[in-house]
Amino acid sequence: MSLAQLHSQAVVAGSAKLAASVQVGPYAVIGEGVELGEGCIVHAHATIGGPSVFGRNNVFHPYCVIGGDPQDYTYRGERTELAVGDGNIFREHVTISRGTAKGGGVTRIGNNNFFLAGSHVGHDSQIGSNSLFVNAATLAGHVIVEDFVTLGAFSPVHQFCRIGRYAYIGASTVITQDVPPFALVVTERETRLFGPNTIGLERKGFSPERVRTLQRAFRLLSRSKLNTSQALAEIRRVSGGSEDVAELIRFIESSERGIIK
C-alpha cells in the first residue's frame, strides 16, 4: 500500500494486510491479523481488531471498534474471527465483536449493511446483507439476522434469536423471541400528553397568565371529550387572542403525522 494512503499518525500492525487502494486516517488503529480489501476507508480514530477479514469498499467512521474481543466471561484469548463482506458502513461508536470458541468462533456480516451510530453486534452473530441497524440497535451473542432487515433505534435483541428476511422492528422494541420473515414488530406505544411544560416555561420567563392560558388550551386538547377539530375551535373561542395559543393551533393544524394527546 502506498504511503500516500496511510496517514503518518495511523497505527497499523505488522501482520495487517491492506489492499493498495485502502485509505487510513490519522489516529486510526488497525490490529494484528486484519485484512482490508480494495476501496476500504478507515477514518480518523477508528479501531479495527483481528483476526478479521473485510471485503471491498467498507467504511469505518471515527470511534467505531470493529473486530474487538467478544464480550463474554468465558473468553480467554482464544483465536476467534470476524468475517465481513463488501460495502458495509460502520458509523461512529459502532461495536462488532469477534466470535467465541464455544459459539463457532466466527462472527459473520454480509454485504451492504448500514450500522448507524452506537449499534452493536455481539459475538458469534450471523448477519446477512442489505440490512439497516438504526442508532443503538443492539444484538446479543449468537443472533441471526437475515437479509433486508430494519432494526429500529434502541432495540435490543436477546441472544440466540433469529430475525427473518424483510422484517421491520420499530424503535425501542425488545426482541426476546424469533421474528418471522416479512413481519412488522413494534412495541406498544403509551406516550401521553400531560399538558404544557409549566416549570420550563416559568424558568424561561413566561408570566403566570401566559402559563394559565396554555394550561386551559391543553386541558381542552387532551382531557376533554372533544375531538381535535372541536377542541381547536373551542380553544380559539376562549384563548383571548393569545399568541402562544395561536402558535399551538398553527402547529397542530400543520401536522402531517398527527399529534400526541
Catalytic residues: 123-124, 141
**Residue written as cell 411544560?**
197
**Residue written as cell 463482506?**
85
Rg (the chain; Cα; Å): 25
The torsion defined by the Cα of 191, 149, 69 and 52, in degrees rounded to 10, comes to -150
> What element of type H or E holds 16?
none
Q: How many C-beta atoms surround the C-beta of residue 194 within 10 A? A: 10
Helix axis angle, 243-253 to 228-238, nearest 10°: 160
87 Cβ partners below 8 Å, 6+ apart?
55, 56, 57, 58, 111, 112
Q: What is the maximum alpha-carbon separation in the chain?
A: 76
- β-strands 95-97, 65-68 pairing: parallel
CA atoms within 13 A on the CB side of 139: 34
Helix axis angle, 208-222 to 243-253, nearest 10°: 30
**Closest by CA position to 112, among listed 122, 127, 125:** 127
